[in-house]
């Protein structure tokens, strides 16, 4: 039931502190991850992994793209990510000892399931990260990690996505144990994970400011989302949410690609959303943003505290609390979920049941 909330989507966004707690429950003991949670025989498989292949669709694919940054930087082994509808029909080369990770909230997505069946015999092991116990994907995979987000009614995924990110970050740490992550480093990241419910709770208090920001989008037909590093897939997810429920055409670009084409689109009618935490990419991103301003584009920037980007004519900023760099994709997803929600409400669309879309895509 929706309770006090006007839509399931809003309720599910606000459930995320609790969802973060559940995603960690039973997986942590005394500051360390419990490998048994990944399934019987998981440890023996993980010992042999030499590369990771992630396959998923839609929002789940965006979670996979974020995980690639984590796996290559923390585990230090190659990681590929592909949408299932392409992967399954391609002549894919899978090096020895590949761990296949399929990501799906429903566990019934036709293309993802077909991709698993297609390569199952050619991989070291298959791991399903999934929100539905007993789903086809879970039953047919060697290993499974449940995201425990609880049922999601809104067609546009919110809490299922953030719970996938937690599962993927934990999986990254488990693999990184094999490639030199020290117990004290693991403990430090686990501590940050334990702080997630509190962090997400504090982000929800931005709701009113974001509702106000949404007014600038309701009359627009296009929007551009920019990010770098793990925030690039976050920008993609932000753009997908806006498309799905407000029917505004939105595209995401890695900010460095701006001048290679999309800058031609920027004018006063094209709002540009940037996800820009205070990381080492901020200076680069700032110069991309100046290019937008120079063309009269209106900027909406989600940034960290002690920000060096300030409100000025045509620039609206929203400051997020400081977060552990690994948690940035989780933290910056929240405001983008709220932004698309409020734009949709202003436009009067059917937020929970957007036109032409189904919650579970069981046909190709
Ligand atoms: C968008 C959304 C979809 C799904 C996609 C895959 O908000 O929810 O893009 O992510 O249809 O579904 P699952 O994750 O069930 O495999």
Please give the full DSSP string across 122-179, using - where no structure is assigned: GSSEEEEEESSTT-HHHHHSSEEEE-------SSS-SHHHHHHHHHHHHHHHHHHGGG
Q: Which pLDDT band holds residue 1 (cuts at 50, 70, 90)?
A: confident
Checking if the pLDDT of 352 tops 90, the result is no
Contact 334, 203 (CB under 8 A): yes
Strand-strand pairing, 98-104 and 51-56: parallel
Report the range of poorest mean pLDDT among 115-119, 245-249, 303-307, 357-361.
303-307
Q: Which residues of 197-224 are buried (b: 16+ CB within 10 A; e: fewer)?
A: bebbeebeebbeebbebbeebeebeebb
Atom 11 of ligand 1, residue of closest alpha carbon: 58
Closest by CA to 28, choosing from 148, 189, 200, is 189
Sign, Cα dihedral of 97, 79, 121, 178 = positive
Question: How far is Cα 244 from Cα 353, in angstroms, rounded to an integer?
Answer: 10
Sheet hosting strand 79-83, strand order edge to edge: 79-83, 51-56, 98-104, 125-130, 143-146
Checking if the pLDDT of 229 tops 80, the result is yes
Residues lining ligand 1, CB < 6 A?
57-60, 104-106, 109, 112, 156-157, 244, 360-361
Candidate from 12, 54, 60 with most ligand 1 atoms within 8 A of CB, to mutate: 60
DSSP category for residue 321:
P
With both helix axes pointing from N to C terminus, report the angle between 196-204 and 328-347 in degrees, rounded to the nearest 10: 30
Closest approach atom of ligand 1 to CA 58? 9
Contact 9, 351 (CB under 8 A): yes
State the average pLDDT over residues 292-296. 87
Q: How far is the CA of 185 from the centre of ligand 1 (A)?
A: 33
Token pair recorded at residue 26: 């039973």
Look over the chain and give the mean of its residue pLDDT values, rounded to a whole number: 94
Neighbours of 160 (CB within 10 A): 25
Candidate from 13, 58, 62, 108 with most ligand 1 atoms within 8 A of CB, to mutate: 58
| Catalytic choice (21, 120, 347, 359) | 359
Q: How far is the CA of 161 from the centre of ligand 1 (A)?
A: 9
Question: How far is Cα 161 from Cα 104, in angstroms, rounded to an integer?
Answer: 9
Q: Which pLDDT band holds residue 326 (cuts at 50, 70, 90)?
A: very high
Q: What confidence score (pLDDT) does residue 307 get?
A: 63
Q: Which pLDDT band holds residue 360 (cuts at 50, 70, 90)?
A: confident
Does residue 79 or residue 355 have the better pLDDT?
79
Question: How far is Cα 265 from Cα 268, in angstroms, rounded to an integer?
Answer: 10
Q: How far is the CA of 244 from the centre of ligand 1 (A)?
A: 11
Share of the chain above pLDDT 70, in %: 99
Residue that is written with structure tokens 């405001």 in the block: 335
Candidate from 56, 59, 244, 250 with most ligand 1 atoms within 8 A of CB, to mutate: 59
Q: How far is the CA of 157 from the centre of ligand 1 (A)?
A: 7
CA distances from 168 to 77, 128, 129, 133 (A): 15, 11, 8, 17
Closest approach atom of ligand 1 to CA 109? 16
Atom 9 of ligand 1, residue of closest alpha carbon: 58
Checking if the pLDDT of 308 tops 80, the result is no
State the average pLDDT over residues 111-121. 98
For 58-108, write each residue's pLDDT tens digit: 999 999 999 999 999 999 999 999 999 999 999 999 999 999 999 999 999
Q: How far is the CA of 286 from the centre of ligand 1 (A)?
A: 32
Checking if the pLDDT of 183 tops 90, the result is yes
Active site residue 359: yes
Q: What confidence score (pLDDT) does residue 309 get?
A: 79
Checking if the pLDDT of 172 tops 70, the result is yes
Q: Which pLDDT band holds residue 295 (cuts at 50, 70, 90)?
A: confident
Atom 13 of ligand 1, residue of closest alpha carbon: 104
Q: How far is the CA of 76 from the centre of ligand 1 (A)?
A: 28
Q: What confidence score (pLDDT) does residue 306 get?
A: 67
């Amino acid at each position: 039931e929706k309770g006090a909330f006007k839509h399931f989507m809003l309720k599910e966004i606000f459930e995320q502190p609790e969802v973060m707690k559940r995603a960690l429950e039973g997986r942590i003991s005394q500051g360390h991850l419990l490998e048994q949670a990944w399934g019987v025989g998981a440890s023996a498989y993980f010992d042999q992994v030499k590369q990771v292949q992630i396959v998923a669709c839609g929002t789940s694919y965006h979670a996979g793209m974020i995980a690639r940054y984590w796996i290559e930087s923390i585990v230090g082994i190659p990681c590929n990510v592909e949408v299932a509808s392409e992967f399954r029909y391609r002549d894919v080369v899978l090096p020895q000892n590949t761990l296949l990770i399929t990501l799906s909230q429903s566990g019934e997505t036709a293309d993802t399931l077909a991709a698993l069946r297609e390569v199952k015999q050619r991989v070291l092991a298959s791991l399903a990260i999934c929100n539905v116990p007993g789903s086809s994907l879970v039953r047919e995979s060697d290993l499974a990690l449940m995201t425990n987000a609880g049922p999601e009614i809104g067609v546009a995924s919110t809490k299922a996505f953030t719970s996938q990110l937690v599962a993927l970050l934990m999986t990254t740490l488990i693999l990184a144990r094999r490639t030199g992550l020290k117990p004290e480093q693991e403990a430090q990241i686990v501590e940050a994970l334990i702080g997630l419910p509190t962090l997400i709770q504090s982000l929800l208090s931005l709701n009113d400011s974001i509702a106000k920001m949404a007014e600038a989008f309701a009359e627009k037909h296009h929007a551009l989302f920019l990010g770098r590093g793990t925030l690039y897939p976050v920008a993609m997810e932000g753009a997908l949410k806006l498309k799905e429920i407000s029917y505004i055409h939105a595209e995401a670009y890695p900010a460095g690609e701006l001048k290679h084409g999309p800058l031609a689109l920027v004018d006063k009618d094209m709002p540009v959303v940037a996800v820009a935490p205070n990381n080492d990419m901020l200076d680069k991103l700032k110069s991309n943003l100046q290019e937008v301003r120079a063309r009269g584009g209106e900027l909406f920037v989600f940034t960290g505290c002690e920000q060096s980007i300030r409100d000025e004519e045509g620039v609206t900023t929203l400051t997020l609390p400081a977060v552990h760099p690994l948690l940035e994709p989780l933290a910056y997803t929240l405001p983008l979920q709220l932004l698309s929600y409020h734009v949709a409400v202003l436009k009067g669309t059917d937020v929970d049941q957007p036109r032409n879309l189904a919650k579970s895509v069981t046909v190709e």
